[in-house]
Structure 1
């Protein structure tokens, strides 16, 4: 009986910790910044004004307060994956759908956007 209680206590205390998502590290955010600024990858500056960017475009909205604008990460991820899902006339390239960005790069860009 004691062993069952110890196992139950361990599950109770350890299981909830496994449900907490880790905050992205500096390296992940830096990867997202690099991909976002890379003209051969994200190239966000071609259309968006964003912190640290020089000579930004003005076709898209400024990339500021992204957590407030996209409280659900999955919505921001889908927007970057394929903006035409929400707006069929969007000129934003479908970065994920067309394989412009890998899944790792997509996640890093979302992490970076959330840091803005």
Structure 2
């Protein structure tokens, strides 16, 4: 059983380029970090704990937002698209750098 799980994990990891794996892993750390991305305050995310329910559950993101630029724009400053949002403008307010936003988006696209 353990060998099967290890093999499945190895196949999954091997199916993504190393750079994408690293960026997505960094993005997950940022998204779950209560002092940085803090996504779990408002969103339910697979693998996260103590999730909020103010925002939608973050699942099936790549099919909901096939255009990566749309997702970057949402994380950077959702107020441009929806002035009434309660989502913080992570880019505009310098909560996350451009590189950090890219990593978070890489992570979100794995959900």
- TM score, norm. by length of structure 2: 0.82
Q: Find out whether 1:84 has 2:79 as its counterpart.
A: yes
Secondary structure at the counterpart of residue 83 of structure 2: coil
- 8 Å CA contact 1:49, 1:61 repeated in 2: yes
Q: CA RMSD in A?
A: 1.3
CA distance in 1, matches of 2:19, 2:31: 16
- 8 Å CA contact 2:43, 2:55 repeated in 1: yes
Q: Which has the larger radius of gyration?
A: 1
- Give 2:59's match in structure 1, choosing from 59, 64, 81: 64
Q: Find out whether 1:38 has 2:24 as its counterpart.
A: no
Q: Find out whether 1:108 has 2:103 as its counterpart.
A: yes
Distance 1:65 1:24, change over 3 A: farther
Q: Structure 1 unaligned segments of length 5 or more: list them.
A: 1-21
- 8 Å CA contact 2:20, 2:106 repeated in 1: no
Task: Count the aligned residue pairs.
Answer: 95
- TM score, norm. by length of structure 1: 0.78
Deviation (angstroms), 1:25: 2.4
